[in-house]
Amino acid sequence: MEKVTKNLLNNEFVRQNEILSGTKLDDLICEINAIYQDESLLAETMTTNLYGQT
């Protein structure tokens, strides 16, 4: 059962919530802006996140 659970979790996205403010929020916004300004990095990020590929 444990092995099956780990396999399922590795194949499924798990939603996590976190409240960000201050420096953590600023850092996240900067990171997102950098990704969106670099077309190749944006394509890589979207491919990695949507299709689980690197």
Contacts of 28 (CB under 8 A, 6+ apart): 20
Quick one: pLDDT at residue 53?
47
Task: Specify the pTM.
Answer: 0.49
pLDDT digits (tens, 9 = 90+) for 14-41: 667 889 899 999 999 998 888 888 888 8
Residue at 32 is within a domain: yes
With respect to residue 4, please indicate whether it lies within any of the assigned structural domains. Answer: no
Question: Which range of residues forms the domain containing residue 42?
Answer: 15-54
Total structural domains within the chain:
1
* Token duo for residue 16: 């996590």
Instruction: In the chain, count H helices and then E strands.
Output: 3, 0
Asked if residue 48 has pLDDT above 80, the reply is no
